[in-house]
């Protein structure tokens, strides 16, 4: 069975289609999918489903360009977090809170995302999605009133996909590159707390909450374009460094995003005097500029200040460091071994306390010594999770 697509990766790659199994697990309930939509939806769905299977809690993913911008399991949303996301306090269902945490992991990269959740979409989540810039959602089902809300989004063109939660693909997966067919067993490695049992540092204390966060971070890496490093806290991805050729660049990117995620909740950031009438997306961009103020050109600075009622004071470097040191439970996971201690040095500046990596590098000893210097607990998983 073939499902026609709007076009391929680019508009000039037309016609395009996806071939579904005879008993298709996928149904299009609203809208018309494109090639990229299908790629993101399949990655996001697998991630959300695996989070639920590993933790027993509702899982969610926010995907963009074949990698997660964010992923999370359900939890209560704190007032400071809500304020940093420009959200009012509302009673949210577990599946809605999971998605809000996933999307909030990197709200700039989640703009126009592919959303996936492990649960039936209810009215609570549909109302959340109604006001967000999102391209699609994939889920195992929809309450009737939720489907009605989502079907009206984007002038009736919002893509709503339903997938059979019990569907399992064949053990062997295939792809064609430049006329060559590649085959391999599907990556069905299960990630649980036991994945992190081989602790190689002097500090061997990884509490249950940190173990669960390492589970979330490592499952997210399984569905992220390699090389990749993930920083997470409290069961939520807060910094994804994806698709870099160098491990240290992955780590810098992930840690920089994590720092920004925490600093969005700094009192100075929360008190930014936005000009009246700005949209949430405009405020989001202003916060990003504010936190990078020392890197802006004079033109960019003038544009930023033009959207504020008065000139704010930047957060001094020493105050940033003190603020970041307040947060406990910050975890870092790597999809392959950490080859040099510079990754650990950078992670320490983001207050990372728990590290998971494959292990097996010739530099394992020096990397472990670095983790010991900072009092980190580090586990070798023996599991590489490349995705290309």
What residues are labeled active site? 64-65, 227, 388
Q: Single out the residue of 173, 165, 158 nearest to residue 26, CA to CA.
A: 165
Q: Is 151 exposed, middle or buried (0-12, 13-18, 19+ CB in 10 A)?
A: middle
Pairwise CA distance, residues 313 & 326, whole Å: 21
Residue 300 burial (CB count, 10 A): 13
Q: How far apart are CA 346 and CA 109, in angstroms?
A: 22
- C-alpha to C-alpha distance for 13 and 138, rounded to whole angstroms: 24
d(CA 67, CA 52): 18
Copy the structure tokens of residue 354: 């728990």
Compute the half-sphere exposure of residue 190: CA atoms within 13 Å on the CB side of its CA: 7
Contacts of 227 (CB under 8 A, 6+ apart): 243, 244, 245, 246, 247, 250, 335, 336
Residue the block writes with tokens 């002038």: 155
* Cα 113 from Cα 88, distance rounded (Å): 22
Count of H helices and E strands in the chain? 13, 15
264 vs 213: CA distance, rounded Å: 21
Unique residue bearing structure tokens 């949210």? 92
Of the candidates 52, 175, 166, the one whose C-alpha atom is nearest the C-alpha of residue 118 is 52
- Distances 10 to 6, 13, 19, 35, 158 between C-alpha atoms, Å: 10, 5, 19, 9, 19
């Amino acid at each position: 069975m073939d499902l026609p697509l709007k076009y391929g990766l680019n508009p000039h790659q037309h016609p395009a289609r996806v071939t579904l199994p005879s008993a298709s697990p996928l149904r299009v309930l609203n809208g018309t999918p494109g090639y990229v939509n299908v790629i993101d939806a399949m990655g996001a769905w697998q991630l959300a489903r695996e989070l639920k299977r590993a933790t027993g809690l509702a899982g969610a993913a926010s995907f963009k360009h074949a990698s997660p911008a964010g992923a999370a399991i359900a939890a209560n949303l704190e007032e400071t977090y809500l304020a940093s996301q420009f959200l009012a306090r509302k009673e949210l269902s577990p599946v809605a809170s999971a998605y809000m945490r996933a999307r909030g992991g990197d709200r700039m990269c989640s703009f126009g995302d592919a959303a996936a959740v492990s649960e039936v979409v209810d009215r609570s989540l549909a109302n959340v999605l109604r006001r967000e810039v999102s391209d699609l959602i994939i889920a195992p089902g929809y309450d009737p009133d939720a489907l009605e809300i989502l079907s009206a989004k984007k002038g009736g063109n919002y893509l709503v996909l339903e997938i059979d939660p019990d569907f399992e693909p064949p053990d062997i997966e295939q792809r064609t590159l430049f006329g060559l067919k590649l085959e391999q067993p599907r990556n069905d490695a299960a990630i649980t707390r036991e994945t992190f049992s081989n602790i190689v540092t002097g500090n061997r204390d990884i509490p249950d909450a940190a173990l669960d966060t390492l589970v979330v971070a490592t499952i997210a890496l399984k569905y992220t374009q390699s090389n990749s490093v993930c920083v997470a806290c409290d069961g939520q991805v807060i910094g994804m460094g994806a698709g870099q050729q160098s491990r240290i660049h992955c780590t810098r990117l992930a840690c920089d995003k994590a720092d920004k995620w925490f600093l969005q909740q700094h009192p100075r950031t929360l008190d930014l005097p936005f000009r009246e009438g700005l949209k949430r997306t405009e405020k989001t961009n202003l916060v990003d500029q504010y936190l990078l103020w020392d890197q802006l050109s004079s033109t960019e600075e003038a544009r930023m200040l033009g959207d504020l009622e008065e000139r704010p004071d930047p957060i001094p470097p020493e105050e940033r460091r003190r603020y970041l040191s307040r947060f406990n439970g910050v975890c870092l996971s790597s999809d392959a071994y950490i080859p040099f201690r510079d990754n650990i040095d950078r992670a320490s500046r983001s207050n990372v306390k728990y590290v998971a990596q494959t292990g097996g590098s010739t530099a394992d000893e020096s990397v472990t010594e670095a983790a010991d210097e900072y009092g980190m607990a580090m586990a070798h998983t023996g599991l590489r999770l490349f995705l290309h």
